[in-house]
Amino acid sequence: MSERFDAVDVIRTKRDKQALSDEQIDWVVDAYTREVVADEQMAALAMAILLNGMTREEISRWTNAMIASGERMDFSSLSRPTADKHSTGGVGDKITLPLAPLVAACGVAVPQLSGRGLGHTGGTLDKLEAIPGWQASLSNEAMLDQLEEIGAVICAAGSGLAPADKRLYALRDVTGTVEAIPLIASSIMSKKIAEGTGALVLDVKVGSGAFMKDVENARELASTMVQLGKDAGVTTVALLTDMSTPLGLTAGNGLEVQESVEVLAGGGPSDVVELTVELAREMLKAAGKDDVDPADALKDGRAMDVWRTMIAAQGGDPDAELPTAKEAQVIEADADGVVTELDALAVGVAAWRLGAGRARKEDKVQAAAGVQMHAKPGDRVRKGDPLLTLHTDTPEKFERAAEALEGKWAIGESADDRPDLIIDRIS
C-alpha cells in the first residue's frame, strides 16, 4: 500500500522547528509500529524533538497515537473506583509495595502495572520476585478478578499496551534521546491512560538519584504529564519529591521488600511512611474517597492483610524467608560527628554493581544484593560505627561497589537542614 507521508519530510518538519500536524503524528507513530519507518529515521525524529521540543497539542496527539497502537484496558465493571501511581524512579524507592495494598484497604482498587529496573534505579517487579513463588505475569482476566476480589494487583504490563512505546523507548535508550521531555511524558502517560485507570498520581523525583536533577525540569515534566492526563479525562496530580538522598534505609530487591513489610506492620523508616501515606491520600482524593485516612489502615493492620492476600494470589508465600546474601562488607564511619551527606546516585550505583540491578534488559539480578544504610544525613555517628553494609553473593563485586561510594558520604559537626521530602504539588 502507498504511504500517506514520507518519513524524511516529517523529520525535516521538526528539524526546521515547525509543529507536526495531527496527520503526520498519527502516521509516523503507526508507520514506526508497522516497521515502515526505520529505526534510524525515528532516531533522527527523536533527536529533532529533543532539540526543538513540541507544543502541548503535539504532545497530546503523539500520546494518543501511542495509545492507538495497541489495546486499552477497561475497569468500569469493578465495584469500586480505580487509582494508580507512577514514579519516575529513584534509589530505595519501594513505595509501590506498601502503597498498593494501603489504598486498596481504603476502598479504591489499584491496577499497578510495573516494570523492571535498568541501571541504578530498581524495578518493582524485581523487588517482588525476591518473594519465593511470586509471579509477575497475569492475564487481563486474572488481573480484573484480583482487583475485584482483593483490590490490588502489581504485575507486568502486557505486550498489547502501547506497543509503539516499547519500540521507541528502546531506541531512545541507545540514541541519546531519553531526556526529551515530550517523549518521556508521552511514554509514561500513553501506558497509564491505555491501562484504563480512573485516577493517576505521579511521583516525579528530583535530585542526584533521580532522572530529573533539577526542580524546574521536573516541574515541566510533571506539568506536561498532568495536562496529558486531563486531556484524556483521567484525574491526574503530581508530587515533586526529593531524591538527593535514598528513600528509606535499603537499596536492593529483597532488602526493600523487608523494609516494605516493616512499613505495613506499622514501623519502617519515617520518610518511606510519610511518602506512602501522602501518595495514598492523593490517590484516594483523586478517586473521590477523601473521607478515609490511610494512616489508620497502616496502624490497624488492614493494609498488611491486603498485602498478604495480594502476594498469595500471585503465587507468593508472604511468610517465606527472603533471600540473604552470601557475603557482606561493612563501611565504617571514619570520625565522630553528624552524617552531612549520603548521595543517592552513589548508593544506587553501588547496589547495581553488587548485583541488584542490570546493565542490559536481559541481565539477571540478585535478589539479596544491595546496600543497607545504618545512618543518613542528620544522624549522629561515632568513629567505627557501621555506616553502610554491602550485600552480594559475588564478593568480587565489593571493590567496584565501594569505589562508587568513595567521596559520596561525609561526616561533619552538624548537618544542613534537609530539603522537604515533598517539594511541590501540581494538579
Contact (Cβ atoms closer than 8 angstroms) between residue 260 and residue 251: no
**Chain segment 394-425, per-residue pLDDT in tens:** 999 999 999 999 999 999 998 777 789 999 99
Report d(CA 371, CA 390) in Å as an integer.
5
Which CATH architecture best describes the domain 327-412? Alpha-Beta Complex (3.90)
Please report, as a single letter, which amino acid is at residue 137. S
Report d(CA 287, CA 269) in Å as an integer.
27
**Chain segment 49-60, per-residue pLDDT in tens:** 999 999 999 999
pLDDT value, residue 364:
86
**Chain segment 99-144, per-residue pLDDT in tens:** 999 999 999 999 999 887 766 677 899 999 999 999 999 999 999 9
Report d(CA 235, CA 228) in Å as an integer.
10
Indicate the DSSP class of residue 395.
G
Confidence bin at 358 (pLDDT 50/70/90): confident
Indicate the DSSP class of residue 2.
-
Q: CATH number of the domain at 84-159+187-313, out of 3.90.1010.10, 1.10.1040.10, 2.40.50.140, 3.40.1030.10?
A: 3.40.1030.10
Count CB atoms within 10 A of the CB of residue 298: 25
**Chain segment 140-152, per-residue pLDDT in tens:** 999 999 999 999 9
Q: How far apart are the first and last CA of the chain?
A: 44
Q: What is the pTM of this model?
A: 0.94
The answer, yes or no, to whether residue 362 has pLDDT greater than 80, is: no
The answer, yes or no, to whether residue 1 has pLDDT greater than 70, is: no
**Chain segment 172-215, per-residue pLDDT in tens:** 878 889 889 999 999 999 999 999 999 999 999 999 999 899 99
- Grid coordinates given for 62: 503523539
84-159+187-313 and 327-412: same fold?
Answer: no
- State the catalytic residues: 86, 165, 172, 187, 191
Report d(CA 397, CA 391) in Å as an integer.
10
pLDDT value, residue 363:
78
Contact (Cβ atoms closer than 8 angstroms) between residue 141 and residue 158: no
pLDDT value, residue 119:
65
Question: Which residues contact residue 233 at a Cβ distance below 8 angstroms, ignoring those fewer than 6 apart?
Answer: none
The answer, yes or no, to whether residue 153 has pLDDT greater than 70, is: yes
The answer, yes or no, to whether residue 2 has pLDDT greater than 70, is: yes
What does 206-275 look like in DSSP terms, one character per residue? ESTTSSB-SHHHHHHHHHHHHHHHHHTT-EEEEEEEE-SS-STTEESHHHHHHHHHHHHTT-S-HHHHHH
Report d(CA 107, CA 194) in Å as an integer.
23
**Chain segment 6-38, per-residue pLDDT in tens:** 999 999 999 999 999 999 999 999 999 999 999
**Chain segment 318-356, per-residue pLDDT in tens:** 999 999 999 999 999 999 999 999 999 999 999 999 999
pLDDT value, residue 160:
86
- Domain borders along the chain are 84-159+187-313, 327-412
